[in-house]
Copies of this chain bind each other. A is one copy, B any other.
Amino acid sequence: MAESEGAQRIDGKAIAESIHQSISQEVATLKERYGKVPGLAVVIVGERKDSQTYVRMKRKACLDVGIKSFEADLPATATEEEILDQVLELNANDEVHGILVQLPLPKHVNERKVLTAISIEKDVDGFHPLNIGNLTMKGRDPLFCPCTPKGCIELLKRSGVTISGKRAVVVGRSNIVGMPVALMLNNLDATVTIVHSRTKDPESIIKEADILIAAAGQPLMIKGDWIKPGAAVIDVGTNAVDDSTKKSGYRLVGDVDYKEAKKVAGYITPVPGGVGPMTIAMLLQNTLDSAKRGFAKEAA
């Protein structure tokens, strides 16, 4: 009952699942038509627990929808050259339509150099500067949009939120979320403001947002009374905070005070179960799109 009085909860988990289903169907159709399936290579270097979890989730998601998963696991001691060689080998492999290098890489490796080595035609993470340049420029289209920002836009669209002409505020300006989502909202004709750590009085700016994307990585930074009544709130933050009532000793919270914000907002994503599941769904979508381009080219 409380829920129905306030914001519509955007169920990212359910939306991601329905995207997985339609990808699964498309993969089956491709297999029938071309006798081939899309392939995604996930490169991991070293044994960070969190990275291993993410990579396992991505590989499992591939299997679930019928995308072929290529594993490239390098030891933490791998040299930059060995990693670059691995990327070049995957660039040359026709069965691989997407390459993702799990970040962070070990400190002795130049991350930028490795990411820039990925063929832009397989850059399913969308972080190659040429893809970002084409996302920034009017009249050009990137081959891929970064997955988490693309997931945010998808959640808005599937919830029936109009973007064109709306005031959008993006909190955070990272390469991975804040900046690309701001560019995508601008491309969709929202009037966008980017709020960041140097912004004075962020509250007054956030209060004007019809669409709020919170991607600051600051637990519960955005209070309920900062939300404009009826606003669509997409919370990208996933912050672990101590919680002695949990077995694990912590719980996950967003950048937005969900409990208070949902009383005011029109639409809101929970954490977890909001943006999180969309990132992998969009990764699969980018891989599928890449494979479709590849198969069409080969068939031509």
Binding site for B on A (CB under 8 A): 112, 128-140, 164-165, 167, 173-175, 179, 183, 186, 189, 191-196, 198-200, 205
B179, B183, B191, B198: the one contacting A191 at CB < 8 Å is: B198
B128, B173, B179, B192: the one contacting A193 at CB < 8 Å is: B192
B186 and A191 form a contact (CB under 8 A) = no
B165, B179, B191, B196: the one contacting A189 at CB < 8 Å is: B196
Bound-state Cα–Cα, A192 to B196, Å:
10
A140 and B112 form a contact (CB under 8 A) = yes
Instruction: Tell me the number of copies of this protein.
Output: 2
Given contacts A133-B131, A137-B175, A175-B138, are A192 and B194 in contact (CB under 8 A)?
yes
A140 and B136 form a contact (CB under 8 A) = no
A-B contact pairs, 23 of them (CB 8 A): A128-B133, A129-B134, A129-B140, A130-B130, A130-B133, A131-B133, A132-B136, A133-B133, A133-B136, A135-B136, A136-B183, A137-B175, A137-B179, A138-B174, A138-B179, A139-B175, A164-B198, A165-B199, A165-B200, A186-B194, A189-B198, A191-B195, A191-B199
Bound-state Cα–Cα, A179 to B138, Å:
9
Given contacts A194-B191, A196-B191, A198-B165, are A129 and B138 in contact (CB under 8 A)?
no
Give the Cβ gap from A230 to chain B, nearest Cβ, in Å: 15
Bound-state Cα–Cα, A183 to B135, Å:
13
Q: Which B residue sits closest to A134, measured CB to CB?
A: B129
Q: Which B residue sits closest to A169, measured CB to CB?
A: B193
